[in-house]
Amino acid sequence: MVQFYSPNRRSVNRGIISVTADNLDAQGQGIARHQGKTIFIPGLLPGEQAQIQLTEEKRQFAKAKVVKRLSDSPYRVIPRCPHFKVCGGCQQQHVATELQVNTKASVLEHLIQRETGINISAQPIIHSPEYGYRRRARLGLQYHAKQRTLLMGFRQSQTNDLVNIKHCSVMRPELEQLLQPLSQCLNSLNAVKRLGHVELVLADNGPLIVLRHLDPLKHEDREILRTFSVQYRVAVYLAGDEKSLEPLIDAQSEPWYQVDGLKLVFSPRDFIQVNDEVNQQMVSQALAWLDLQPTDRVLDLFCGMGNFTLPIANKVQAAVGVEGVAALVASGQYNARLNKINNVDFFHENLESDIQQQPWAVQGFNKVLLDPARAGAAGVMTHIVKLAPEKVVYVSCNPTTLARDSKILLEAGYHLVSVRMLDMFPHTSHLESMALFSRESMTIE
């Protein structure tokens, strides 16, 4: 009989071993070493000793769970949220903020050094309020027939089940206080079994809710929602599908927020930065790094609705924003008119396609800002080099792609002048950052 070779699966040692964590990764996992292998252990902090059990073993590393913690780090704190360890939203509420941000800054510095060979500090960190910072949240809705109740909340860690959220300490208080009455309201609807999700957003002129419903809402349900809207002074929008958006009350004012003294109106479905305080500091830092002058022509790539573009345009000869989402381009154009800014143009273009054929690409610019999604900006980096701007500010939500894209600028002779870690999402593994590149060697105070 023919026998086929089949590699043996790597068996996992299920025995109990004792380790001491010596570091923390960006996800908040403790890092320990045992018999030459790196082990990642959720819930363990540097300096803490514990008995652990391996849950997964690879050639170079392993994962484990804590069976018994034998000592406590001075950086261990009591999580404020009652849903911690169950909800998948926050992973690091047990870690003191100082250790969280310093760890993320170290991870950022390590990635840049590994990819570019440059040793650079990510300090000073742009800090956030520890709690109550999130002005936007999307919660799933899930009807349980046996319990005859609608669950509203975030996904459980590593499952598709919902944690029924009654409190969320990272939400802005104005949104958190709506959680329980909103849950009661939605549970009272006839359409309770046919709801998709709900988004809570805090604009500068008040809170709003976007309710995704899978079937048309009957008059009775609309009246229940209208009563809720009036009682809690919250604007309600109905989304019958992923594209439609209907204000429940026609007289609802448009939501807006302020940045750098400008008023930016947005659609409830437009992307806005979740952390307003960090956004204000981030925009201010970008403007300072660009050292804007009245004669400058500035390009803003992946510009969204003009969060950077419009403050930049207020200070220069001309600004151009390029964005792939048509609705955001329309919001940027509207806000330019609203703020009487006449020296800015917005283009709706796919920055992953052949940008050489796009109308903005034939214009000249002496300074550039880009704020791409997690995939980075590989498609535009060579064109930025061709523009030969004096300065480039790169805002990033993924340090890996920031480090990768940086190499193109460095190989073209640019200098990495400064890097900042942005504490945009405290208690989570998300690592936001920004970097300044200059064609000339320079120092930043």
CA 189 to CA 415: how far, in whole Å? 59
- 402: number of Cβ within 10 Å: 25
Phi, psi of 119 (to 5 degrees): -90, 115
Q: Please name which of 191, 92, 186 lies closest in space to residue 139, comparing C-alpha atoms.
A: 186
- For residue 187, the 8-state DSSP code is H
| 8 Å CB contact between 31 and 47 | no
**168 labelled ligand-binding:** yes
Burial (0-12, 13-18, 19+ Cβ within 10 Å), 48: buried
Distance CA 27, CA 430 (A): 8
User: What three-state secondary structure class fits 337?
Assistant: helix
Count how many Cα atoms sit within 13 Å of the Cα of residue 397 in the half-sphere of its side chain: 13
Locate all alpha helices (DSSP H) within 45-200, ordered by sequence: 97-116, 173-176, 179-187
* Cβ-Cβ contacts under 8 Å for 371 (sequence gap 6 or more): 300, 301, 302, 303, 304, 308, 395, 396
Cβ atoms 115, 107 nearer than 8 A: no
307 labeled part of a ligand binding site: yes
How far apart CA 318 and CA 344 sit, in angstroms, is: 6
pLDDT for 7: 47
Q: Which domains does the chain have, with CATH numbers?
A: 16-69 (2.40.50.140), 102-129+273-438 (3.40.50.150), 136-256 (2.40.50.1070)
397 catalytic per annotation? yes
Question: Is 185 assigned a ligand-binding role in the annotation?
Answer: no
Pairwise CA distance, residues 302 & 91, whole Å: 29
Q: Is 371 annotated as a binding residue?
A: yes
Q: How far is CA 113 from the centre of its chain?
A: 24
437 is in an annotated binding site: no
Residues 6+ apart with CB under 8 A from 148: none
Distance CA 254, CA 265 (A): 7
pLDDT score of 5:
43
**Integer Cα distance of 130 and 98 in angstroms:** 10
Residue 87, annotated ligand binder? Answer: yes
pLDDT digits (tens, 9 = 90+) for 151-175: 999 988 778 889 999 999 999 999 9
Q: In the chain, what are the helix, strand and coil shares in percent, each to the nearest 5?
A: 25, 30, 45
Q: What Cα–Cα distance (Å) separates residue 400 from each residue in 116, 353, 377, 384, 395?
A: 11, 22, 12, 19, 13
- Give the residues of the chain that fall short of pLDDT 50: 1-8, 445
**Which one from 397, 422, 435, 436 is the annotated catalytic residue?**
397
